[in-house]
Amino acid sequence: MRKNRLFSLTIFFAALALMFSGFMASESFAGGSKGPSALVKIESGKVRGVVSGGLEIFKGIPYAAPPVGSLRWRAPQPAKSWNGVRDAINYGDDCMQKPFPGDAAPLRTTPNEDCLYLNVWAPRQRDGRSLPVMVWIYGGGFVNGGSSPAPYDGSHFAEKGVVFVSFNYRLGRFGFFAFPALVKENDRAGNYALMDQIAALKWVQHNITAFGGNPREVTVFGESAGGRSVNVLVTSPKAKGLFIRAVVESGGGRDNLLPADPLNEAAANGRPSAIQTGINFARTMGIDGTDAKALAELRALPAEKVVNGINMASMAQQAQTYSGLIADGTILPHSPEDSYKDCRQNAVAVMIGANSADISGTSAKTMDALFAPFGSDEAAARHAFDPDSSEPFAAVARRAGMVEMMIEPARFVAQRVAACGQASYVYRFSYVATPLRARLSGAPHSSEIPYVFDTIGESSWGNLGKGLTSADYKMASEVNEYWVNFAKTGNPNGAGLPNWPRYTASGDGLMNFTMNDGPKGGPDPWAAQLDAVEKIQK
């Protein structure tokens, strides 16, 4: 365990739920379309989507068998084939969870254990071209989230000439669960959510050509837990060859964000092993054994019992019965941080960053306690975070915790990817929509998403208040364009856009999506703070 962290996980999860709330409101869910249809044949059978403008849109395509009954806590199995034509006009159910009030990206389906579905947006006119593919992984602390929320509409990606894919993956105890009988049954037991993600990426390899996509030009991108997932996939040998580019949005990069628990032994931070958390959960359900009979009883539990009220607002209180990511030795043979340090990651280009008012947390109550972990570098750290000794403690503590959790780890990944010979680009999203500036001085966690998707005026994001300006729409269009350019070429730059410098250790540059000056490339203005924190990230 890294000593003297600036935050506690309990504070982190509470902050995560708070930061997610209030930035996007719900939007009514529309059903299927009666307009023109599109027909595509994939490995499992024919699917019928809808035509909307110049796009073909397919929703609710099964990429694996329903993980229910005897398939609960098993690796995803192939989807069954069907005869005839399957309608793909509505989202499949998002995965089983307990939504929480104020979720930044509210679901538009009813959560269900039968949830392994994906969605595809593709340009209708392709002129025989094989198009780049972008695959989205949603966030939600690994206990919430889904592919149905309105801000995740892939239309604007497809309009710019890429095939866009989103999918559901199992959450909470359905996605991460270890138990003695499970380990005997399959030594890959544990990270079912990650197995789902890999299965979805393999589905893309096998089927995306039917939608005009190029399986050799896949970019995977995600935010928060989705960004953490991308870091895992970049460093996992099980995901090798499934994509060539990756984008990490507020997904950290070091092991202080959503760390993986050991499978068989207690974690250094005092948390029980993943197997012990499974045993603990079984006991709360009145199941005392650890053999095949006990496992059968666990698989027979109603889905609501497995959820047991866990979500982003409550997960810290259930740490003894829920593990999250598991160091399983197969998908996660090494931690992402260690893999980056040793150049063991898959050889892919990476774009990574975080927001200017991202997630933070600290248990320190005074300035002295906050800076004590810096040891002999304490004076330099104080100067970096509070040069005039004039900032309120709360503001300094929040910035320090954010830099340790999100900002410095993003630079760390860029440094290591560049040092290992791949292209890397760093961003900081600092933009706040015009109607929100009276109450927000920086860009909160997840607030970049409707800009990345260019959905600020078309999804629920626009309900935050009237008054979105031409500058807000311009920023969304430009951010979306950078992401698309990266998916097409491995370089976010393009005609008419301010230059985004490629990361180098000597240049230490980034793209800052500023509030008043638009996208602005150059040296990192927070470099001194990152340098200070880097010294204690051991």
Predicted confidence (pLDDT) per residue in 453-508, tens digit: 999 987 655 455 578 999 999 999 999 999 999 999 999 999 999 999 999 988 88
Q: Which residues of the chain have pLDDT under 70?
A: 1-35, 187, 459-465, 538
What are the beta bridge partners of residue 520?
A: 512
Q: What phi, psi does 506 have (nearest 5°)?
A: -75, -35
Tokens of 180: 């003695």
Closest CA to 400 of 4, 16, 10: 4
3-class DSSP state of 381? helix
Burial class (CB in 10 A: 0-12, 13-18, 19+), 84: exposed
Residue 452 near residue 353 (C-beta atoms within 8 A): no
Structure tokens belonging to residue 142: 């690994």
pLDDT of 3 reads: 42
Is domain 51-356+403-426+472-514 annotated with CATH 3.40.1640.10? no
Instruction: Give me the helices (H) in 131-224, please.
Output: 155-159, 172-175, 180-185, 192-207
User: pLDDT over 90 for what percent of the chain?
Assistant: 84
**HSE (side-chain half, CA atoms, 13 Å) at 171:** 36
**pLDDT at residue 36 in the model:** 84
489 contact partners, CB below 8 Å, separation of at least 6: none
In this prediction, residue 126 carries a pLDDT of 85
- The span from the CA of 337 to the CA of 2, in Å, is 12
Strands, E, within 104-258: which ranges?
Answer: 117-123, 131-137, 163-167, 213-223, 245-249
Q: What is the pLDDT of residue 6?
A: 39
Q: Please tell me the chain's helix, strand, coil percentages from 3-state DSSP, rounded to the nearest 5.
A: 35, 15, 50
What is the pLDDT at residue 31? 40
Question: How much is the pTM?
Answer: 0.94
- What is the rounded CA–CA span in Å between residue 332 and residue 481? 33
The domain spans of the chain are: 51-356+403-426+472-514
Interatomic CA distance for residues 293 and 217, integer angstroms: 46
* 202/300 Cα distance (integer angstroms): 30
Cα separation of 473 and 178, whole Å?
46
Q: For residue 160, which phi and psi values (nearest 5 degrees)?
A: -95, 10
Interatomic CA distance for residues 455 and 457, integer angstroms: 6
Q: Looking at residue 467, what is its pLDDT?
A: 87
The count of other CB atoms within 10 Å of the CB of residue 155 is: 18
pLDDT value of position 22: 47
Q: Please give the mean pLDDT across all residues of the chain.
A: 92
